[in-house]
Structure 1
Amino acid sequence: MDRGLKRGCRSVRADLEALTPIEAAEALLGATVRVGETAVRLTEVEAYGGPEDGPWPDPAAHSYRGPTPRNSVMFGPAGHLYVYRSYGLHFCANVSLGPDGVAAAVLLRGGEIVDGEQVARSRRTPGTAFANLARGPGNLAAALGLSLADNGIDVGADDARVRVELPAEPLVDELARGPRVGISVAADTPWRVWIPGAVGVSAYRRSPRAAGPRRG
């Protein structure tokens, strides 16, 4: 079932290469992520920066302590998929941004299934409500069938297994901004953006391990 899928015509790599993390997050909001028959419209994303000596120091980012085999995609060219396993339980997917050699990425936190609903359901717990099929980064990756084998994919390539199609225009007037979900450092950095009231948006949860007063 098609639930309003719109195909973008902008270049993922060219757009994300020149943007800051929060600008890239805003550009990706409303984008379509397509894997085979299944597609998700992104309704919630989070930006992450890089090492302390980089342009966007971010102690919450996997890249903060420098490049490793695991986070190398974050240091590469913009528009590539960075997939990692979270807590040994599920996969999370990000899209790299910025110039080659500068670390940053946007976590794909949640979205709405706009094509291939039955395929997505086959990958999720039976009886899962439509609104929850791709709500949360682990569920989104599961609904799309993503795994570590997809790490490093150029999501703008015509023949890529995983493709990201940016919206024709950024959703500047439709988004909200606030702190990222469930992280214990840089907990109040307002680098989460979402479409208020949209399917797939998570409830905000501040980590109990985060220092300082609750904000946002």
Structure 2
Amino acid sequence: MPITAFLDALGEKSVGGYGYLKLYYAPYRDDAEALLVVDTKMNNWYDHGTDESGNLYDLAELTARGNHRKDINGYIVKMMNENEIAKEMLTKRAIEPQVIHLDIAKIPLTDFMKALGQEHPVAADGDLRIYNTPYDSSVKGTMVVNIRTNLWRDTKTGANGGIYDLAYELTGCANKSELNRYIAGEMNAFQKKQTPKLEEKPPKPKRKMRL
């Protein structure tokens, strides 16, 4: 399987290159410049930021999170299948681009947790808010949100990050556009529930004509 196809499934597009060498932003790191080079001839990659290199499996290991780390082959297949399904949907019907007015990265994680059905944390300690893990119903009180940094950490699995990382754990999707749509959808649905409905006023009685 071409590494470029897997990167496409992750939502990463080549930003340059020469010949059979393609340049990408590393999907597992937030860099200011593109440092990942893919050799499409040999089907391997090299990271100029860390001097790491490898094949498709090695790249998948770096991008997999949560339970996907336990089954890298299954993770690769899942990402590729989901990407093919999305492409098929786009070719079958025209989809209007969705305009997202939210600044996703700045959404407080506590608000996102409310949208996920956890109105209040189970505990609090200074800047820390403790929640039940939203992506694993069997785990209670292991997710810690720092309201000052707006970051979270799962004390059981070690998973951590910002709102995009949490959305990834919930959906298994690494495509940023899809994550934007997912987060915006959850927040919009929550805000609609919070908006009080205007009470309908009873119609005014009609005046009777006097003779």
TM-score, normalization: structure 2? 0.25
Larger helix fraction of residues: 2
Higher Cα radius of gyration: 2
Between Structure 1 and Structure 2, the one with more strand by share is 1
Higher relative contact order (CA 8 A, sep 6+): 1
